[in-house]
Chain A
């Protein structure tokens, strides 16, 4: 695995010097610009730039072993981003950040007896996008979906990218019925949004699985996730672009205390049907 220790200053300086020399030597550089991508590097960049007639841009290759210190710097930045709980591509929470938020929200829900709803979402037929239009297009789709989630959710909600094309939306203080309204809106916005990628204009759909606590029982995060996953699986299996819900996990709790049970009712009524006690 990558070593996330920062390179020593003198090594980094050495690499920057050689980079500078290389830029001076380059025939296309005459006070123009260098494109330095520290965050993400891709070996296909020079070719992609040529296709776009951007060949005069210089790509600093951070995938090889030409600038090991810069590579380490880049990896370090990425690692810090992950540690922060963020997904570098979308700016949403990553799996780690999502898990941390889940712990907090489950605690909040149980402490204040408020509902909690989790939705797991998966883009339909995403692999075809990657296969047909390439990974950059796939990234564009992921980024667009992420920005739709960020736009539509409330400030207190948490949106996360928990897998390649899999997202999670955690809705504190929100029961199933209200959550569904928000999710239906997100679903329809995704469906009607055209994502431009090169010449292609893509249209995507999303399958969703929802699980919910009403705040009557302390939420079990593992179960909540498992139920939402199961619901998502049903949504996929029954035709995609659907929202499937798991039965509310604490539906049967909280009410029965206020009800008079059948046996209690029979007991209370028995004096009226029993002639020995009501006659005279």
Chain B
């Protein structure tokens, strides 16, 4: 190894679609960037390309071009200067997981050199528990599970946590309750999930934060402008900034641990 690693990698996952995961991941990136951090956002959403849509982008190159002679600088798309960039994946991500270990380690080696330039690597994962999602959720150092207070979101996110825990031996999960009508409602939903994880899996999880339901979120999506730029003062934006602060503190606190862990752990 060269220099000790300083990049904290975080997967943003959800058991269920439609919980606002991609939008939340994107706005967390902007919030962290506003706090002075540099970030690279990896669209690992199976080429559903939600990030492109949210940002009104149509990337020409993607992650897989890195296997050829494309340089990283030609593949990443700046979202806010060089401090916040998007690494588009198109359909390349599914193939990365299915790649044999040689190709995978080759690509991970190239990616590592790129990721090291940033304070954070944020992976926006697809929803559900497909093998590809599970593999990608297992690779980074940390995982954020986005839930909403709905019962089906609870069961689906519980399924995601359970599978990652039992099949990939993943033990660190942090939860964001999104689209909460009230703090009380969010707390209830989180407690229920935490109790299920404790009771059936003997696995402690933690609450990273709550984001309230906010009409501005839908508006910002419609305008293809990140919420934090579109309505920086709204409730949801405030919630997201609070979570971003926690994540930033976490990176400082876990400095030693981060320096000893690879940014993305190979799957095999």
Contacts and interface: CB of A to CB of B under 8 A. Distances in A.
A280 B129 CA distance: 34
Given A264-B158, A268-B158, A257 B196 contact: no
Interface of A: 257-261, 263-265, 267-272, 277-278, 280
A123 B129 CA distance: 47
25 contacts: A257-B162, A257-B163, A257-B166, A258-B129, A258-B159, A258-B163, A258-B167, A259-B159, A260-B158, A260-B159, A264-B155, A264-B162, A267-B195, A267-B200, A268-B151, A268-B193, A268-B196, A269-B151, A269-B154, A271-B188, A271-B189, A271-B192, A272-B151, A278-B188, A280-B184
A267 B191 CA distance: 12
B243 to A, nearest CB: 23
Contacts of A260: 155, 158-159, 162
Given A261-B200, A271-B189, 18 more contacts: A257-B162, A258-B129, A258-B163, A258-B167, A259-B159, A260-B162, A263-B200, A264-B196, A265-B155, A267-B200, A268-B196, A269-B155, A270-B192, A271-B188, A272-B151, A277-B188, A278-B188, A280-B184
Contacts of A264: 155, 158, 162, 196, 200
A267 B151 CA distance: 11
A272 B189 CA distance: 9
Contacts of B200: 261, 263-264, 267
A72 to B, nearest CB: 54
B199 interface: yes
Interface in B143-184: 151, 154-155, 158-159, 162-163, 166-167, 184
Nearest to A271: B192
Interface of B: 129, 151, 154-155, 158-159, 162-163, 166-167, 184, 188-189, 191-193, 195-196, 199-200
Given A258-B129, A278-B188, A280-B184, A268 B154 contact: yes
A257 B162 CA distance: 8
A254 to B, nearest CB: 10
Contacts, number: 46
Main secondary structure of the interface of A (DSSP, over half): helix
A259 B188 CA distance: 23
Nearest to A270: B192
Contacts of B151: 268-269, 272
Given A260-B155, A277-B188, A267 B196 contact: yes
Nearest to A269: B151
A278 B188 CA distance: 7
Which A-B residue pairs are the 7 nearest by beta carbons?
A: A271-B192, A268-B154, A260-B159, A258-B163, A257-B166, A268-B196, A269-B151
A264 B159 CA distance: 10
Contacts of B189: 271
Nearest to A272: B151
Contacts of A280: 184
Q: Which of A259, A263, A267, A268 lies at the interface centre, i.e. has the most chain B CB atoms within 10 A of its CB?
A: A268
Nearest to B201: A264
Contacts of B167: 257-258
